[in-house]
Structure 1
Amino acid sequence: MDIIPVYKLMSGENYHVDGLRKNTVWFSNVEQLNDPYEGRIYFEQEEVSIANMKSALTQIFYLNNNDLKKSRREVEDRFKKMGKTIFTKHIHKNVSRHFHEFLKTHHKERHVLSLSKANLSLKENLFPEPLSLMMMWAHYANGFRGFCIEYDYSKLIKSINKINDIRLDAREVEYVKSNLPIIKSSTVIDDIIYKNNKTSKEIIKALCY
């Protein structure tokens, strides 16, 4: 089986050397990532049907009282008292708050291991990029004073999953010239109603832009 090489350039701090001794790798939380655009997401309000707004609010009430009929009555009572315009503003405001609280929680729970993928196989070139890119060494390896570890990607992932009893989600980073990822209010509302985890998937996807 061919080795799938990936690389980790390090500045050579004591904890990097300690990781080599203990055969471990470091996963950063989102706040520790060195690019301010990593994990950045824009939230956008858009038109959502009254029916979906009511369904989402019903699900939220249902979590509190575990009574679906009572939850529906509470939503209808609130809609009648507020009227369509105020009810809509109320839902938009709370969906935005719900999303940003969820995003903070998501960022606390998610950790990232950034690796550089070889642009060629080792059969084609024993010194492929990023090893041959001096800018990478200058930036990530403490001005050429650090070092670089080469991993077999397949073995690394299997090892991490087995030792920690987890499942990693791995994606390639996409560099885009257009706007950063946008999550719309309809996505969050659908997630509340159908519990399809679409919001989480979009957040994870955004970490790779």
Structure 2
Amino acid sequence: MSIGYKYRANIIEKNNYLRDIDSLLKDELWASSFDDLNDPFETEYIDNISRDLNTLKELFNMNINDVQAKWENLKRIKENLGIYSLSLSEKDYPSSNLMWSHYSNSHKGFCIAYDIDKLKDSEILPFSVDSVEVKYVENVPKIDVNDIAHRIDFIVKMFGTKMKVWQYEKEIRLLYSTFGIKHYSPFALKAVYFGLYMDEQYQSIIIDGLQNRDIKFYKMNRKENSYEILPISLCENSRKIDEKLPLDLFEVLKIDHNYTVENFHILYKGFLKDEATLQRFSSKFREQYSTKEANIFIYDDKNILDLIGKYPLYGNDQYRLASHLIAMSTFDAPNDIWMYPDKS
């Protein structure tokens, strides 16, 4: 699990509105547009490519329609693109004094620890890569016509390059298809670190607002005789599960998740396989293991594992899978169980 840190200032706005805390409690983030990043070298990238295209057309009378179309498409993507910046850490906590000072209101704010992979699950992303770890360089990279045909190089140069003076940020950027408010899985949030000078009343609002979640809370403290700051554990919220499923009752055969739902393929080992029993099982499984909307497929034989996800299925393979799929519960009707075939 890769952890990214987001430093928040916790500035009190008009009418005592706590925007940063409100977004945290709503599982929201703001993916900025590329223009909002105020990259002073963006115009230089655009001018380089436009100039190269015009030169090829005017001097060499080349047909550049295909390249021009690709460039226009990339520009449209850039105009809509949303970017969410996180900071990596060499330690297992947000240890950078500079980041706390610059982005957390001089230690009066807080820092959120996210599971980066779960943040990436929030929507379809526009490229073959969904994040880019920023490279810090002395000179502005040249983006030209040749980069249009190599999307990865283009993405890294355009969206993942900053001046070396910013290297203390250790930034990783998540790329979304559009900018604006994004909602993420509640289970992407792993921990919250409170700054040295954060007011206790705001700490309490966050802790109380994130009940019934598996989240750890820390308070940053100075290390004695040092400029280093260290996290001290305050408390831990946990998901409340009244009755956990016995581990000998089932086996997870395969997990097949995508950006909208989780798909669990489960071998059920219980004796009773009636509709009511399997409905209770699927509900408890969701409560205990799913982190977002989920489809649950229940089987009575693990020997069909090689058929799960295989497409298309014909003849005997199709019959084998259908014979051992005993029930399913879908994400859009989680309180129902569908017996297939009817084995109640």
TM-score class, shorter-chain normalisation, is 0.5 to 0.7
Q: Does residue 207 in structure 1 map to residue 215 in structure 2? A: no
Residue 180 of structure 1 corresponds to which residue in structure 2? Answer: 140
Residue 151 in structure 1 maps to residue 154 in structure 2: no
User: Separation in 2 of the partners of 1:137 and 1:40?
Assistant: 31
Which residue does the alignment assign to 1:117? Answer: 88
Counterpart Cα distance in 2 of 1:59 and 1:39: 20
Q: Over residues 122-160 of structure 1, what are the superposed CA-to-partner deviations in whole Å (9 max), with x where a residue is unaligned?
A: 4xxxx3xxx2221111101112111100011222222x1
Matched, 1:56 2:64: yes
Q: Match of 2:39?
A: 36
| Paired amino acid for 2:160 | C
Question: Alpha-carbon deviation of 1:102?
Answer: 6.8
What SS class does the counterpart of residue 30 from structure 2 fall into?
coil
Match of 1:11 in 2: 9
Percent identity between matched residues is: 26
Summarize the alignment of residues 61-72 of structure 1 with structure 2, pairs less than 5 Å apart: none
Q: Which has the higher strand share?
A: 2
The structure with more radius of gyration: 2
In the other structure, the counterpart of 2:103 is 140
Deviations 1:91-149 (A, max 9, x none): xxxxxxx96x77764432111000011224x4xxxx3xxx2221111101112111100
- Alpha-carbon RMSD across the aligned residues, in angstroms, is 3.7
User: Structure 1: how far apart are the matches of 2:98 and 2:66?
Assistant: 54
Contact 1:8 1:115 (8 Å CA) reproduced? yes
**Residues 152-171 of structure 1 mapped to structure 2, 5 A cutoff:** 152-158=115-121, 160=122, 164-166=123-125, 169-171=130-132
The 3 A distance-change label for structure 1 pair 206 and 166 is closer
The offset of 1:38, in angstroms, is 6.9
- Deviation of the 1:22 alpha carbon: 1.1
Q: How many residues align?
A: 148
1:40 and 1:58 map into 2 onto residues whose CA distance is: 23
TM-score by length of structure 1 reads 0.56
Distance 1:36 1:133, change over 3 A: same
